[in-house]
Amino acid sequence: MTLSEKSLNTKQQTAISRLYSEDYTLLVAPTGAGKTVICLTAIKELIDAGVLNRVIVAAPAKVVENMVWTKERLKWDHLSGMRVLNITGDAKKRGSLLAYANTNDYDAIVISLNNLDWLLEQGHGKGHGCDGIIIDELSKAAGKQTAGMRSKKKADCFKWRVGMTATPVSQDYQKLYSMARILSPDYLGTSKQRYLDQYFYSDYQGYNWTLRDGADELIAAKIAPLVHLVEDTKANDLPACREHVITFDMPDDTRVVYNDMKKHMIAGDVEAANEAVKSGKLRQIASGFMYEDDDKVVYLDRSRVDAMRSWADALDGNTGIIFYEFVEQGKQLVLTTPDNVRCVQIQSMSHGVDGLQHEYADLLFLQPPWSRDNKEQAIGRVWRTGQTKEVNVTTLVCNDTLDELVMTRVEDRGEWMKLFKQHLKGV
């Protein structure tokens, strides 16, 4: 392989070489490391060499809608000759776009994970034009039953497979099995039950699985040949990133509602699909509102909004960005934030929201992010190449609420990721 891309850094070129030489790769790289340009360059090199004919990129719907892969291609001179097509819309429109791609010899087809089944049903697997697949945000795909990922055998028709993620073990090592199985059965096996029995122990009901002592090292050793780790050296290359916490108290009236909800949940009186939904109720109350069963919103207090305003006032006119979780919070923020503050729903951070590092260095999490993935994606959009100022990350925490537990668990998940990387390096 001959690389002529002068602007690609050494880490990116090393990753491209790995994708070029190996059929299956779990590409683990932090936000801002250039995973998209790495994969696009590898596709180009493999097609130019006659190794591949065409590649499917299966990505979250927002990534497809925002044309993230097409826009990334346009940023790089060495990719100017590539032909990348987004396939979106209803079945009729997708069919027309697919026919257009076939007629015009496109190199890559970008489609949402939810429409991957549809594409495969059109005959676009091995021997039908597409012999490679990239799964963007593999950790999210493996963590839920998306249409294209219900059967891990879906990817088996492709001779070249790449999964992209920044956080393969941010929550637990169970999801890691699903990611590995999508890419290749050779590393963690074909039976998830055998995987669980070997590396975990369960409660007496068999519902909750806990990692055995030392199992993380054994799993890392098994999966290491599949993984290409792009080192995160941002701390060496960028201004400092510092984290802060602002705590505030819940008003007495809201505390009564919070404690009553908590008591009923423990007693099992509150109907909810799962623990996450139950926890969400408590997090809503701690944020000053609550969705009722008919989706009606009950407003309780403004304590979190007031804490946000204190943070915004301290900016003294400088720009800042707020990451919120609940839609209702976004509605409130529109009415309460000053013009120098931008508000973004945190769930959108994995969908190609670019350029924030040039405008912002102060960011606020309106509440502790439930997902470590989302937190790292959000920070990574501000603390990345192009940032010239010290980045200050602030989180609002309501005292004596679920906020405190979420903070602890998210930090623990960050430690799991650090240990996983250390184990990989030690193999």
Mean pLDDT of 188-205: 86
pLDDT, mean over the chain: 85
pLDDT for the residue 421: 79
Residue 296 has pLDDT above 50, yes or no: yes
pLDDT for the residue 57: 95
Token pair in block for residue 232: 């995160």
Indicate the pLDDT class of residue 263, thresholds 50, 70 and 90.
Answer: confident
Q: What domains, with CATH codes, occur in the chain?
A: 10-232 (3.40.50.10810), 235-423 (3.40.50.300)
Mean pLDDT of 410-424: 75
Token pair in block for residue 6: 């002068």
Indicate the pLDDT class of residue 126, thresholds 50, 70 and 90.
Answer: low
Mean pLDDT of 307-329: 93
Mean pLDDT of 168-175: 76
pLDDT for the residue 143: 60
Lowest mean pLDDT among 168-182, 220-234, 255-269, 300-314: 255-269
Instruction: Give the whole-number percent of the chain exceeding pLDDT 90.
Output: 46
pLDDT for the residue 272: 45
42-78: pLDDT as tens digits: 999 999 999 999 999 999 888 898 898 999 999 899 9
pLDDT for the residue 314: 95
